[in-house]
Amino acid sequence: MKKGTHLELTIVLCVLAASIFWPLVVNGYWLGIGVDAMMYIALATSWVLFSGPTHYISLASAAFFGVGGFAVGLGMSDYDMSFWSMLIISAVAGTLLAALVGVATLRLSGVYFVIFTLGLAEMIRNLVSWVQNNFLGSRGLYVLTDFNDQHLFWMLLLTTATIYITGWLISRSRLGFALRIIGGDETVAKHVGINTAFAKIILFTTTGLFGAIVGAIIAPRWSYIEPNQVFSPQLSFFVVIMALLGGSGRLWGPIVGVVPFLLIWNWVDANFPSQSILVLGLAFLLIVYFLPRGVLGRLEDLYVKLKKRII
Amino acid sequence: MRLSSVLALVAAGALSAGVALADGVIKLGAIAPKTGPLAGGAVVTQWPNVKLWVEQVNSRGGLNVGGEMMSIELIEYDDKTNPGEHIKLAQRLATQDKVDFIVAPYGTGFNIATAPIYGKYDYPMIAVSAITDKMDELTARYPNLFFTLGTTTAFVDGVKEILVEQRAAGEIGNEVAMVNVADAFGIELADRARELFAEEGFEIVYDKSYPLGTPDLSPVMKGAKDSGAKAFVAWSYPPDSFGLAEQAIIENLDVNVYYSAVATSFPAFGNAYGSKINNVLGAGGTNVDDPKIAEYRKAHEEVTGAVPDYWASANTYAALQILEQAIVGAGTLDRKVVTQYIKDNSFDTVMGDLSFKNNFSNTFWSVGQWQDGVFRGVKGSNVDGAAKVRLKDGWK
Amino acid sequence: MLDILVSGLLLSGTYALVAMGLNLQYGVAKIMNLANGEVLVLGALASFWLFTTQNLSPLITVLILVPLSFIGNWLIYKFLMLPLVRRSKSKGALEVDSILSTFGMSFIIIGIMVSIEGGFFAYKYLSHPIEIIGSTTSVNRLMAFVLASIIALMLYVWLNVSRQGMAVRAVSVSNEAAGLVGINVVAVSGLAFAIGGMVTAIGGALISTFITLDASIGVVYTMKALIIVIMGGVGDIRGSVIAAVILGVVETAVATLVDPGLTLASAYFIFICVLLLRPQGLFGRPTS
């Protein structure tokens, strides 16, 4: 992942700032799409934060999202805690979990890392269900709040902005420099004295922190929290897919990946309501064949062509 | 409003209009799983009933809304058993498609997730497959949400009553083997059952859960068998209801009472196991001898090609009948008026006369039993024609 | 104890059927096939449909599936995967591309299957009890186990004794090196992909005789296959078989001795432990 420039930061922050007005100008449906978009952008950006520089594909997004959602559900439903206190607890829990996962995966690489994270997330899902069954004696986790989509959109927007700024700062720091070397060749990185373990763990922790926060924010939207839904592996796959579709070369890849993708999804829903999954699959295939390196790849090709023309 | 008087009005309206053609259109939105974990159930219980009702209404010329005949235009979406997706599609129905009415979602979680959205746009939600003990709190928050299939407690109560009766008759002891699927639904039911069974002095000698999607249930069944209990209760979902039955047959489970929850009432359950699952108990039930039910089942098979299930299918159809009669009775597409009409009136449906008190309709079957190829209701609330509970007698 | 061994081994048979195909597709053809579970379910759908409409035994369906699924998967490789292989400049790029495209493929297959049968594939075949060394089980599971063992043995022999098998193993070690010694990497990869898909489809037909599947359950089996293949180590069929045995026995042991609610959690736990101790899986090559 390349080092962030001031130009990029300015543009992204302007776009995000402009998005503040989104809930004020659109109605329920497009606001809802906005919430979905913000959720995936937040999750995918936080994913790219880690995966972009290191090239490690993590399928653990659902584990952190689930921790956030489940914590809010449990705290608010069974212990009468407030949403905000559970949000903080979720963030802490997500960070700790990610740190543990980071330590566990230090010796893994390539596809072994990918599937390890998947297995770990699935183990957590099963454990949480088991704990809920045997110890919590709960009758369903209801998160009934007065938040509406507007509030959630702004909360997610703030989260996305924070993720982006964090990533931008890291990319310009020594840590980011170290991570780029690790992504280039990890053995070389170790030999030049970079503490690869520390770098990877710190970075992975941010994925957990932000993943849990997003999960916590979405909990009020779903209102009824079940472990098999909040820890659903489908989410992990979607986050990776959207991040890769956008392109993991830059931190703003998810923004240009998620938005067009959700628009395509919306178009499919509107025109093929009974066969949406089939057509979505076809859309995936087409995207993969015509955008070899994601949207970013296409944009970069265009940029290069434009530059050549100008020169 | 009686169905016969509705038909009379329709006929009168048609005659006065000169031609039995519908002029206006009522847009009806329906979102339920066609793919994803809950699709297997929705495909049996929800979708065919929507199709059946819409076809029947349209073939009659539509609904008479204040003198104007209006046909139904169905807009359906697949929520892929994903809450985020379902919420988005619900908003689509409300704000883009601008439907006049909606069919309540399939599944407790989805009903709760969409209640705020539909409530905001005043859509009445006559929920069927939503089982919860928090109805009071939910309907206070969402006055547009109606429940028709009973509470978690009622669901468990039916089973508990049977256990108490059979113990009194000396057919089972105090020991019960109970298992549940580790999904929100199974967890809630098992939790409630532990309380209710304990109150009646039952001891749950084998009390285990299993993850959703467990491929091999033989350890569970062997454990239940080893416990020696004469009563077996499983708060299960379709794949495991099938799996547990198969294991019970293999192990020749020696029990006098065998209950598995969801999908026991599916025709496919009876087809897969034939006579071996005779006298197996399950969630739901229906009275096939009731002429209205018999007529409904015949129409269902003719129009959709599928046999309805022996439980929530009838309730799903009844919910649509309620909507129909409310629209016609209120004489308008104004959703607030129609919602109020639902609250204030009683309805003539295949489940009998239904009416709501505090948004809750107390007419449903809780337990049914396979008796010679038909899954008959044996326990319920305000329903007639309960068959006598039989004992499980081997697995041949 | 005997119960655990017998049930556990039979479960391993099921898992082996689920995973062996993916091992070939990923280990040799280098395609991370996220639609593996859907191919499994396709085999199951074929078996269900032919049994309930034509009263055809699933064993006959298996015979029909051998040529059909082989050709089907070979076509998928040639027309959907090969363009991606040709254009990818690195192994990582191919992995990303194959993840994205097979994910799309899985959606397409689900869509097709749902339009054929939206509900559960509920049927039972050979669901009779049988006693094996003192433990009761069902004939259909035993049959699946026996066939899984035969398939595993056939694959092992083919891979290690025949010249073609040697070529396949060479490709799984290194595409470049295999190409340099004159092996037609594309042809071999296509062959491996097709055989892998065939094994998976057959596996689906067999397990559908005792597990009630439906069109959307594929992803659960894809994940299981991934776990088994990675735990066993990519590229070696023995790895997948051993991993399947370990998981089958562990899951059954935990379900019987501890708590059935922890079956899957314990399976993932074992998987994690194996990878922590051996980051390349049981039989995998050490990664640099």
Dihedral sign computed on CA atoms, order C239, C241, C244, C249: negative
- Facing residue for C223 by CB, picked from A55, A122, A187: A122
Contact B187 A224 (CB under 8 A): no
Find the residue in B nearest to A268 (Cα).
B77
Distance CA B209, CA A137 (A): 13
The answer to whether the CB of B297 falls within 8 A of the CB of B315 is no
List CB contacts (< 8 A) between B242 and chain C: 120, 122, 212
A269 touches chain B (CB under 8 A): yes
Band (pLDDT 50/70/90 cuts) for residue B22 is very low
Distance CA B123, CA B84 (A): 20
Q: Is the pTM of this model over 0.80?
A: yes
Distance CA C193, CA C174 (A): 16
Q: Strand, helix or coil at C132?
A: strand
Is B64 inside any structural domain? yes
With 0-12 CB in 10 A as exposed, 13-18 as middle and 19+ as buried, what is A135? exposed
pLDDT of residue A1: 65
Which residues, including other chains, have CB under 8 Å from residue B384's CB and lie 6 or more apart?
B287, B290, B352
pLDDT digits (tens, 9 = 90+) for C90-117: 877 888 889 989 999 999 999 999 999 9
pLDDT of residue B20: 45
DSSP string, A179-227: HHHHHH-HHHHHHTT--HHHHHHHHHHHHHHHHHHHHHHHHHHH-EE-H
Strands B346-349 and B352-355: antiparallel
Distance CA B86, CA B76 (A): 12
pLDDT digits (tens, 9 = 90+) for B340-363: 999 999 999 999 999 999 999 999
Contact B182 A126 (CB under 8 A): yes
List CB contacts (< 8 A) between B253 and chain C: none
Domain A6-310 belongs in CATH node 1.10.3470 = yes
pLDDT digits (tens, 9 = 90+) for B206-251: 999 999 989 999 999 999 999 999 999 999 999 999 999 999 999 9
List CB contacts (< 8 A) between B190 and chain A: 133
CATH number of the domain where residue B59 is located:
3.40.50.2300
- Facing residue for C269 by CB, picked from A123, A277, A280: A123
pLDDT digits (tens, 9 = 90+) for A286-298: 988 888 778 888 8
Which residues, including other chains, have CB under 8 Å from residue A130's CB and lie 6 or more apart?
B182, B209, B211, C259, C261, C262, C265
pLDDT of residue B17: 45
Dihedrals φ, ψ of A142, to 5°? -100, 125
Contact C272 A123 (CB under 8 A): yes
Q: Strand, helix or coil at A144?
A: coil
Give the minimum alpha-carbon distance from B80 to chain A in angstroms, rounded to a whole number. 8
pLDDT digits (tens, 9 = 90+) for A202-230: 889 999 999 999 999 999 999 889 899 99
pLDDT digits (tens, 9 = 90+) for B30-65: 999 999 999 999 999 999 999 999 999 999 999 999
Q: Compute how many other C-beta atoms are within 10 angstroms of the C-beta atom of residue C233.
A: 24
The residue to which tokens 């994803």 are assigned: B36
pLDDT > 70: percent of chain B: 94
Distance CA B53, CA B41 (A): 18
A with B: how many residue pairs have Cβ under 8 Å apart? 110
pLDDT, mean of residues B177-202: 94
Is B392 inside any structural domain? no
Find the residue in A nearest to C102 (Cα).
A285
List CB contacts (< 8 A) between A285 and chain C: 80, 101, 104-105, 108
Strands B231-235 and C129-132: unpaired
Contact A138 B82 (CB under 8 A): no
Q: Strand, helix or coil at A247?
A: coil
> Euclidean distance between the first and final Cα of chain B, in Å?
48
Distance CA B297, CA B311 (A): 12
Distance CA C236, CA B225 (A): 40
Contact B87 A228 (CB under 8 A): no
Dihedral sign computed on CA atoms, order A274, A275, A279, A284: positive
Which residue ranges make up each domain of chain C? Answer: 10-215
List CB contacts (< 8 A) between B83 and chain A: 222, 229
Range of the domain at B190: 152-286+366-381
- Facing residue for B208 by CB, picked from C207, C211, C261: C261
Give the minimum alpha-carbon distance from C230 to chain A in angstroms, rounded to a whole number. 6
Give yes or no: residues B170 and B140 share one domain. no
Of B45, B181, B207, B250, which to mutate for an interface test with C (greatest number of C Cβ within 10 Å)? B250
Whole-number Cα distances in Å, B299 to B51, B314, C200:
11, 12, 41
HEC secondary structure over chain B: CCHHHHHHHHHHHHHHHCCCCCCEEEEEEEEECCCCCCHHHHHHHCHHHHHHHHHHHHHCCCEEECCEEEEEEEEEEECCCCHHHHHHHHHHHHHCCCCCEEECCCCHHHHHHHHHHHHHCCCCEEECCCCCCCHHHHHHHCCCEEECCCCHHHHHHHHHHHHHHHHHCCCCCCEEEEEEECCHHHHHHHHHHHHHHHHCCCEEEEEEEECCCCCCCHHHHHHHHHHCCCEEEEECCHHHHHHHHHHHHHHCCCCCEEEECCCCCCHHHHHHHHHHHCCCEEECCCCCCCHHHHHHHHHHHHHHCCCCCCCHHHHHHHHHHHHHHHHHHHCCCCHHHHHHHHHHCEEEECCEEEECECCECCCEEEEEEEECCEEEEEEEECCCCCCCCCCCCCCC
Count helices and strands in chain A by DSSP H and E runs: 15, 2
**Tokens for C167?**
């070529």
The answer to whether the CB of C247 falls within 8 A of the CB of C267 is yes
Contact B83 A270 (CB under 8 A): no
**Tokens for B116?**
């705020």
Give yes or no: residues B88 and B236 share one domain. no
C265 touches chain B (CB under 8 A): yes
pLDDT of residue B6: 54
Give yes or no: residues B143 and B75 share one domain. yes
- Facing residue for B134 by CB, picked from A142, A228, A277: A142
Is B387 inside any structural domain? no
Find the residue in A nearest to C80 (Cα).
A285
pLDDT digits (tens, 9 = 90+) for C36-71: 999 999 999 999 999 999 999 999 999 999 999 999
Q: What is the dihedral of CA A261, A264, A266, A272, to 10 degrees?
A: -140
Range 44-103 of C in CB contact (< 8 A) with B: none
pLDDT exceeds 80 at position B1:
no
A142 touches chain B (CB under 8 A): yes
pLDDT digits (tens, 9 = 90+) for A133-192: 998 876 678 888 889 899 999 999 999 999 999 999 998 888 888 888 888 888 888 888
Looking at the DSSP assignment, which residues form a beta bridge with residue B396? none
With 0-12 CB in 10 A as exposed, 13-18 as middle and 19+ as buried, what is C82? middle
Q: Compute how many other C-beta atoms are within 10 angstroms of the C-beta atom of residue C116.
A: 12
Find the residue in A nearest to C35 (Cα).
A281
Q: What is the DSSP letter of A137?
A: -
List CB contacts (< 8 A) between C279 and chain A: 107-109, 112
pLDDT, mean of residues C279-288: 79
Dihedrals φ, ψ of C279, to 5°? -60, -10
List CB contacts (< 8 A) between A283 and chain C: 104
Is B388 inside any structural domain? no
- Facing residue for A140 by CB, picked from B34, B184, B190: B184
Looking at the DSSP assignment, which residues form a beta bridge with residue A213? none
**Tokens for B177?**
């083997």
pLDDT digits (tens, 9 = 90+) for B73-123: 999 999 999 999 999 999 999 999 999 999 999 999 999 999 999 999 999
Chains within contact range of chain A (3+ C-beta pairs < 8 Å): B, C
A166 touches chain B (CB under 8 A): no
Dihedral sign computed on CA atoms, order A245, A249, A254, A256: negative
Which residue ranges make up each domain of chain A? Answer: 6-310
Is B389 inside any structural domain? no
Distance CA A94, CA A60 (A): 11
The residue to which tokens 């992995």 are assigned: C95
Distance CA B259, CA B157 (A): 13
Chains within contact range of chain C (3+ C-beta pairs < 8 Å): A, B
Band (pLDDT 50/70/90 cuts) for residue A5 is confident
pLDDT, mean of residues C8-19: 94
pLDDT exceeds 70 at position C288:
no
Of C41, C82, C96, which to mutate for an interface test with A (greatest number of A Cβ within 10 Å)? C96
B77 touches chain C (CB under 8 A): no
Contact B94 A29 (CB under 8 A): yes
pLDDT > 70: percent of chain C: 99
**Tokens for A6?**
């001031």
Give me the number of domains chain B comprises. 2
Band (pLDDT 50/70/90 cuts) for residue B12 is low
Distance CA B140, CA B319 (A): 21
Contact A109 C114 (CB under 8 A): no
pLDDT of residue A198: 87
Q: What is the DSSP letter of A5?
A: P
Contact B182 C261 (CB under 8 A): yes
Distance CA A123, CA C266 (A): 8
Is B138 inside any structural domain? yes
Burial track B115-147 (b if 16+ CB lie within 10 A, e otherwise): bbbbbebebbbbbbbbbbbbbeebbebbbbbbb
Give yes or no: residues B107 and B249 share one domain. no
pLDDT digits (tens, 9 = 90+) for C243-254: 999 999 999 999
pLDDT digits (tens, 9 = 90+) for A145-155: 889 899 999 99
pLDDT, mean of residues A296-304: 84
Contact B215 C207 (CB under 8 A): yes
> Euclidean distance between the first and final Cα of chain A, in Å?
27
pLDDT > 90: percent of chain B: 91
Give the minimum alpha-carbon distance from B145 to chain C in angstroms, rounded to a whole number. 28
Give yes or no: residues B165 and B272 share one domain. yes
Band (pLDDT 50/70/90 cuts) for residue B5 is low
Band (pLDDT 50/70/90 cuts) for residue B7 is low
pLDDT of residue B21: 47
**Least confident interval from A52-66, A191-205, B25-39, B129-143:** A191-205
Range 275-294 of B in CB contact (< 8 A) with A: none
pLDDT of residue B19: 43
At A18, the amino acid letter reads: A
Find the residue in C nearest to B183 (Cα).
C261
Of B74, B88, B189, B210, which to mutate for an interface test with A (greatest number of A Cβ within 10 Å)? B88
Closest alpha carbon to B115 in B125, B106, B107, B129 = B125
Find the residue in B nearest to A148 (Cα).
B116
A267 touches chain B (CB under 8 A): no
